[in-house]
Structure 1
Amino acid sequence: MIEIIGYLLAGLGLFFVGIHLVDRHLQRMTGRRLRSLFIKLTETWWKAAWWGFCVGAITQTAAAITFVCISMVNSGLLKLRRAITVLNWSNPGTCLLIFFLSLPLDLFVAYIVGAAGLLYSFQSSKHGRDLVGFVFGMGLLFYGLFIMEDYGEQLKDFLWFQEAIASATSSFILTFIVAALLTMLAQSGNAVVLVILVLTASGLLGIEEAVMAVYGANLGASLITHVLTFRLKGTPKQLAMFQVYFGWIGTMIMVPLFYLEHWTGLPLVVSLLEHLPFHAATEIAVVNLLWCLITTLAIAPMEGCFADRLKRWYPPREDEDARRPRFLYPRCEEQPDACLDLIFEEQRRLARRLVMYLEFDPQSQNYRDRVFRFDEDNRALAEEISHYLQLMVNRDLRGETARRLRSLLERMEIIGTLGAELHRTLPRAREQLVGDDSLAHRLLEGFDAAIRTVLDSLETGDEDDLALAHAITEDGSETLSRLRESFIQSAGEYSSSEQAGLMRLVASIERLIWLLNSMTRNLESSR
């Protein structure tokens, strides 16, 4: 008995390590390349459905697909309705994992684990390591399952285990609930379905009990998503809740059909399994696939309605569009000059938002949280703009177009650095405000005038505005002189600790003005 428990724990440990590796490396692989590929593969409903199914079959995890879809919808690269199509059809794809366990793949998996493990240990390439890590995780996942299957079968010889299984399966509803709870505990629907498969193949579960357990595991998977996404808002919440509703709809369809067949003898799922010339393990895989496939087919005609309902029930945040490009669109890089114009408009839009760091009221509720969310939105938008800039770099441009691109790349770096410095400096500066006559207040007031002048010159592009912006931000300008003089004159009014804080603030403001001057020079050179 001790030997059996030891091997079962070893198999379970390998299984969950495999799940962890698969999930971690898949998230690292969901970068720009995969997202760009998704754009091309989801142009039509048929493409979105087909590739959703294929990606589900490859990744075997709905979480990874949901992660990619949320990221793409947030960035404006994928519409909510198309993302729902991808998610809907990815669910049957994730069910294919169960079929592989019923095949004699023990030796093949052993070779995969060994080869991938060696490569994983010595692989230095980041992208190659993620791919090898994914394969290694899948190998461990399967190897752990094979160990559990081999030794789990031996438990049926123990009287106490037979009695425990009998009590758990004395009621179909109890079996359903236990499977759902185990799924939430294991944080994996596939994990529990595979355990059900092992128990059924060992004769510890009858076919009807196994069917209800599979249904419970699928509902449990949706409940996991519900719990994990409880704090999400807006569009991410819409996509996450689609997966939750997928589980509930499947339950409302399949459980009543099960009881209809059980009570009336109408030939449905269980009758189909009895007539299939398959091993018990394969029959469980069929049940799991039927659950996902029937639910997907039921939802398919209502995907548009789902998108509308989800928007109404979980409306996007008021500032959600702030992190999406307003002018740029997929494949605009194919027209370089027009794309550079659009990038310029996006940069102007992002730069205009910088002054809002000065407009948040430090006395308002959740001031720091609001500034943090605002900064996150700006970073997300900056990342999208940088993506299009990189696409333009890859086109190997020449002449005036190449010069414009270099100028926009430099400006993007300045805007990003300026935003990061504002986010780092202003919350601390706000805490040092004592009154309208305080030194910190005068420092921020002077900087406010400087940044608005520079942003006005960016907006208008007027030569006189640029000259004024250059004059008030250059080294040795009146703005910087006033900063230093104000500090020297007021230093005696503060304690040593307050003076140290004000010195840091002066240094930060000087750096911000230097960055503004860099932007002004960039604007002048790009004329």
Structure 2
Amino acid sequence: MDILATLFGGLGLFFTGVKLIGRNLQHMAGRRFRLVLAKATANQAAAAAFGTLLGVLTQSTNATTFIVINLITAGATTLTRAMPLVAWANLGTAVLVVLTVIDLRIAVLYVLGITGICFYFDLDRSTRYRHLVGALLGVGTLFLGLQLMKTGSGPLREVAAMKAALHFAASSDFLLLLIGTAVTMIAQSSATVAVLAVTMAAAGLFGERETILLVLGSSLGSGLTTLLMGGNLDGRAGQLAIFQALFKALGVAILLPLLLLEEASGLPLLRHLIDQAAGTLPERIAWVFVACQVVPALAMLPFYGAMERLLARLSPPTETEELSRPRYLSDEALLDPESALALAEKEQLRLLSHMPDYLECVRAEPEQPEPLPPATLQEGLGMVARAAESFQTELLDGGLPRETLERAIALQNRLEVLITLNDSLADFVRQIEAAPEGTRAHPLTGHLVESLHALLVTAVETADAPDGEAIALLQDLTADRGELMERIRRSLLRADDPPPYPVQQALFNQTTLFERIVWLIRRLALLLREAPEDADGMALAAD
């Protein structure tokens, strides 16, 4: 029981340390680091360096993959630039495995002592130092757990049941691969399983060959975990998850045949090179794990273009993804406020230009043969709006001169109207689609839809070229129609053959939303009239 308690406690400390290190280092990186990371993908050398650093910070290829997926989704980078970054991030996770084979007992005791002093002086409550203190605690906890596991796993060699279990596991190469794969899918980290494998090898529980197979199995498990976690992703986000799975599989596909060929032929291949590079068994296993990351990264270097085409077939871009990608916004533009404002205005105009598309699926004679579903439009345009909001907020926080600040505030007010308009149009179309039978065929529904479509098209044209006459016309078209709408509602009740009550209720809801949308378009017209002109006194048109 003492042996099991020691192992179990050591394993708990180890997992706690892994989580503490990854979580706190990610917080230390912060948004600025992610912005630098997005820029670092401009060339493969920089992507390799920053990818390795990101792997060191997260100690999880899954975390790295999904961080980069967020960058792709936000339009901060492309799949072509992201692939080498993710590939080399795998190498960063090997740092933990390499450190495992180094005797760090004295250093760990000092780390734990320093961490305790930091906690005593409440540095863990400091905004500046708390994540550093947390990361130090994770380092100390992790290696203390490893030391406990090493201490507890040694006597297991003499336990008859353990001998039988190890003998059974070592009887089949496939079983060893399967064990490594399964444990990694549970732990969600190939580095974690590799560290455990190194610890077992150091304790004499497994030989070199068996431990190598466990490490190769852990690589497969890591790829499968990423694929399963990204199972609900599609488009470019899904492509990166598939890329990571293929990367891991490629490493095993190269190294496993080399291992088997070396055993069958006696040629000095994988194990011979590793034996020459490292002395002890734990060191050799650590180098195998490093090889699992470096070999596929080097093998893929000439084939990123072909890989991108393959991924596009396996997970083609979705309509929502294409719609939700900001076209004009970029972090680099924030360095020049005037250019940033111009780009923000163009992105807003692009956002507004898609608003009439909501009504295509409920018009009697739509202009688009295959209109986008309202849910797709709302999600895609909503993501663009959120990206624009973040962009403009950061611009406002940058300390702008007065004239530029006034223009930025005007754009921010206009964006708020567009966000509300986007949601209101989605609600309006959903009301029509979910209404009782006969509602959609009612003449009032058709009139409301066509009137809104005409108003939205006029709003787009006015925002594109906001001269005084066009704005005045849009204001006249969106003048208060409350009395007219009330007469329409009363006529529904007083008609000789009034529609059924559920239809009446649906039509009332439509008129209420119609009034709200018209008010929002009028509000947009007023903001266009109030907005300061740009440097040239002319509006900027979207492409």
TM-score (norm 2): 0.84
Corresponding residue for residue 291 of structure 1:
292
Corresponding residue for residue 236 of structure 1:
237
- Aligned letter for 1:469? L
Corresponding residue for residue 40 of structure 1:
39
Q: 1:162 to 1:137 in 2, by over 3 A?
A: same
Instruction: Give runs of aligned pairs for residues 254-273 of structure 1, distance below 5 A.
Output: 254-273=255-274
Does the CA contact (< 8 Å) of 1:153 and 1:198 recur in 2?
no
Corresponding residue for residue 473 of structure 1:
478
The alpha carbon displacement at 1:437 in A equals: 2.2
Is 2:463 the counterpart of 1:461?
A: no
Corresponding residue for residue 188 of structure 1:
189
Among all aligned residue pairs of Structure 1 and Structure 2, give the percentage whose two residues are the same amino acid: 30
Structure 1 distance, partners of 2:40, 2:471, is: 45
Is 2:312 the counterpart of 1:307?
A: no
Decide which moves more: 203-212 or 227-236: 227-236
Deviations 1:398-426 (A, max 9, x none): 24333222211111122122223333453
Q: SS at 1:148's partner residue?
A: helix
Q: 1:112 to 1:166 in 2, by over 3 A?
A: farther
Corresponding residue for residue 410 of structure 2:
407
The alpha carbon displacement at 1:351 in A equals: 1.0
Decide which moves more: 301-310 or 406-415: 301-310
The alpha carbon displacement at 1:233 in A equals: 1.9
The alpha carbon displacement at 1:327 in A equals: 2.8
The alpha carbon displacement at 1:257 in A equals: 0.9
The alpha carbon displacement at 1:168 in A equals: 0.4
Structure 1 distance, partners of 2:492, 2:29, is: 53
Structure 1 distance, partners of 2:266, 2:91, is: 27
- Aligned letter for 2:358? Y
Q: SS at 1:396's partner residue?
A: coil
Decide which moves more: 82-91 or 426-435: 426-435
Q: 1:277 to 1:72 in 2, by over 3 A?
A: closer
Structure 2 distance, partners of 1:274, 1:59, is: 30
Structure 1 distance, partners of 2:358, 2:136, is: 45
Deviations 1:202-260 (A, max 9, x none): 10100111111111111121122222223422211221111111112111110111112
Which among 480, 483, 508 is matched to residue 485 of structure 2?
Answer: 483
The alpha carbon displacement at 1:391 in A equals: 4.0
Does the CA contact (< 8 Å) of 2:84 and 2:297 recur in 1?
no
Structure 2 distance, partners of 1:395, 1:462, is: 30
Corresponding residue for residue 59 of structure 2:
60
Which among 378, 386, 391 is matched to residue 375 of structure 1?
Answer: 378
Structure 1 distance, partners of 2:402, 2:225, is: 55
Corresponding residue for residue 426 of structure 2:
423
Deviations 1:144-166 (A, max 9, x none): 44433332333222111011101
The alpha carbon displacement at 1:92 in A equals: 1.2
Structure 1 distance, partners of 2:136, 2:426, is: 41
The alpha carbon displacement at 1:134 in A equals: 5.9
Is 2:180 the counterpart of 1:179?
A: yes
Which among 512, 518, 521 is matched to residue 513 of structure 1?
Answer: 518
Q: Please, which runs of 5 or more residues in structure 2 have no aligned partner? A: 365-369, 534-543
Structure 1 distance, partners of 2:356, 2:8, is: 57
Q: Please, which runs of 5 or more residues in structure 1 have no aligned partner? A: none
Deviations 1:316-336 (A, max 9, x none): 224533222223344123333
Corresponding residue for residue 8 of structure 2:
9
Instruction: Give runs of aligned pairs for residues 15-414 of structure 1, distance below 5 A.
Output: 15-19=14-18, 32-102=31-101, 103-105=103-105, 106-108=108-110, 110-111=112-113, 123=125, 140-275=141-276, 278-361=279-362, 370-414=373-417
Structure 1 distance, partners of 2:191, 2:233, is: 24
Does the CA contact (< 8 Å) of 1:110 and 1:143 recur in 2?
no
Does the CA contact (< 8 Å) of 1:70 and 1:236 recur in 2?
yes
- Aligned letter for 2:527? N
Q: 1:276 to 1:86 in 2, by over 3 A?
A: closer
Q: SS at 1:244's partner residue?
A: helix
Structure 1 distance, partners of 2:73, 2:337, is: 25
Aligned-residue CA RMSD (Å)? 3.5
Q: 1:112 to 1:449 in 2, by over 3 A?
A: farther
Q: 1:153 to 1:470 in 2, by over 3 A?
A: farther
Structure 2 distance, partners of 1:320, 1:501, is: 32
Q: 1:450 to 1:293 in 2, by over 3 A?
A: same
Q: 1:23 to 1:56 in 2, by over 3 A?
A: closer
Does the CA contact (< 8 Å) of 1:116 and 1:133 recur in 2?
no
Q: 1:509 to 1:120 in 2, by over 3 A?
A: farther
Q: SS at 2:361's partner residue?
A: coil
Does the CA contact (< 8 Å) of 1:28 and 1:130 recur in 2?
yes
Structure 2 distance, partners of 1:420, 1:21, is: 40
Q: 1:353 to 1:406 in 2, by over 3 A?
A: same
Structure 2 distance, partners of 1:424, 1:435, is: 15
